[in-house]
Amino acid sequence: MPERRTEFSGGTPPTHVHAESSFLSVSAFPAFPFGLAAAYHEGMMRPEAVAILGVLALAASASPAQDRQGVRNEHPFPLTSGRFGTLGAPSGKKHWDVLGASWFKSGDCFWQGGNWVRDGGAQAWLLMRPRMYFTGNNRVWNPRPKPPAWTYRDKTRKFIEANAGRIGLIAMGNSICFADIESGYSDPNEYVTWYHDFRAFVHRLNPRVLVVPGDLQSAWGKLQGTDLIVAYQKAYRKKYGKPMPIDALGLHCYLTGNKPPKWAKPEPVSVPAFQKKIRTMRTFMKRAGLQHAALAITEMGVFNHCCDPPLSKARLIEIMTGAIRFMEGPKGKDKTIGMPSDGHRLVQKWSYSAFPHLVRDGKLTTRGKAYRTLADTFARKRPPRLGAVRPAHPGAAGAFRRGPGKRVNE
């Protein structure tokens, strides 16, 4: 499954990334494609949540705040607040609360962890696979069934219809960088048709829900997926006569080490290397006319199994801490390429890989304690903000009201 070349790429195209790693050792988790192994830790995922390609729903579990008139005034998944996140979540709210995070990346377009999420326990970034949804292929690794089976589509639609008021954002795909098990990412015309049609379905239920593409990836010494984003934009404009509405882009941001597979390019494992990845992504977003859009790091970590010698736990925590302080601090802003409506900050939300590294048996691990300290520190410094980024399409995030006659983003 070769990855896609991009304008920032170079070298031999590798196969897809088995990103079971984190800012700490990855040996505890078996290999699993698309960086979700840690999130699929036993007991962390509902049985029906098995999707990889598809529409990512930033499903906002937190109940919207209300003003004195009882009018909703907070977007279910605010893109410019609640920055601290994780990859995966526990089965109960009690274990989640000990960490101090605001959101998590889940495994499918269903509530990972149970109804405590839906009832206001956390914000969730969910997945839905468009090829399974639109073609009736319900079997992950096998050829498309004949005739098509629509179990996945029907289950997904039922979930969205039942929870539309709690969902904040849906993005088509976990990652657009690979000729993966479902394929379909590489056909811009097909992809944008799915994007347009699914967005129309969701907006009939709730026009506030943001719809965005699947994640790009920065790993193995290159930024991947940029060529497809540009191709989608061109295809959408040609087909529908207007810009493709994109309010946010997700990024898998991994430091993949000095001893990668033969097909990959070595890269340093350091905070400056992480910073360079973020700036490269933001530079692309500006070139693509997406400087206004939010950047969410949906997966981040170190491939310690590709480091020689492997980094110590103390060093990995040091890198994690440095990366977070960069994103949260003054160096994480750039007037040239940052998001204007968020004070030119480079990264709006980020997700640490993964929850089991931070909380075990309801207690913070050593790195979980470091994470919690950072979350508490920066949460005190930055007051919560109402609403999300001004949407790329009318009637979405900006359509909910702060009070009589006023929109949140006006």
Residue 21 lies in a domain: no
Residue 87's nearest CA partner among 110, 103, 111, 100 is 103
pLDDT, position 209: 83
Residue-number span of the structural domain to which 112 is assigned: 33-407
1 falls within a domain: no
With respect to residue 389, please indicate whether it lies within any of the assigned structural domains.
yes
Determine the pLDDT at residue 380.
Answer: 66
Which is it for the CA torsion 267, 271, 273, 278, positive or negative?
A: positive
**Which run of H or of E encompasses 328?**
helix 313-328
For residue 358, tell me if it sits in a domain. yes
Segment 329-357 mean pLDDT: 95
Percent of the chain past pLDDT 90, that is, above it, reads: 48
With bands split at pLDDT 50, 70 and 90, how would you rate the model's confidence at 218? very high
Q: Write down the pLDDT at residue 39.
A: 33
Number of structural domains the chain divides into: 1
pTM of the model: 0.77
What is the structure's pLDDT at 44? 33
Q: In sequence order, which residues have a C-beta less than 8 Å from that of residue 171 and are 6 or more positions away?
A: 55, 56, 57, 58, 211, 212, 213, 214, 215, 248, 250
Band of the pLDDT at 22, cuts 50, 70, 90? very low
Which candidate, 123, 220, 109, places its Cα nearest to that of 174?
109
> Quick check: is 28 in a domain?
no
The yes-or-no verdict on residue 232 having pLDDT over 70 is: yes
pLDDT over threshold 60, residue 45: no
Separation CA 286–CA 275 (nearest Å): 17
Residue 251 CA from chain centroid, whole number: 7
Q: Is residue 5 part of a domain?
A: no
Tell me the average pLDDT across 73-82.
Answer: 79
Question: What's the number of CA atoms in the CB half-sphere (13 Å) around residue 335?
Answer: 0
- The stretches of 73-212 forming alpha helices (DSSP H) are 93-97, 115-116, 130-135, 151-163, 188-205
Dihedral sign of CA atoms 375, 378, 384, 388 in order: negative
pLDDT at 178: 66
- Give tens-digit pLDDT for 263-312: 899 999 999 999 999 999 999 999 999 999 999 999 999 999 999 999 99
Query: pLDDT tens digits, residue range 172-183?
Result: 878 887 655 455
Q: What is the pLDDT of residue 245?
A: 93
| In a domain? residue 370 | yes
Task: Answer whether 82's CB lies under 8 Å from 328's CB.
Answer: no
Mean pLDDT of the chain: 76
Q: pLDDT at residue 33 above 60?
A: no
DSSP state letters, 24-35: S--TTS---GGG
What is the rounded CA–CA span in Å between residue 298 and residue 365?
21
Q: What is the pLDDT of residues 241-256, one digit of tens each?
A: 999 999 999 999 999 9
pLDDT at 399 over 60: no
What local confidence, expressed as pLDDT, does residue 283 receive?
98
Tokens representing residue 298 in the block: 């949906």
pLDDT higher than threshold 70 for residue 148: yes
User: What CATH number is given to the structural domain containing 159?
Assistant: 3.20.20.80
Of the candidate ranges 135-139, 343-347, 363-367, the one whose mean pLDDT is the lowest: 135-139
Q: Is the pLDDT of residue 326 over 80?
A: yes
State the maximum Cα–Cα separation within the chain, in Å, rounded to a whole number: 62
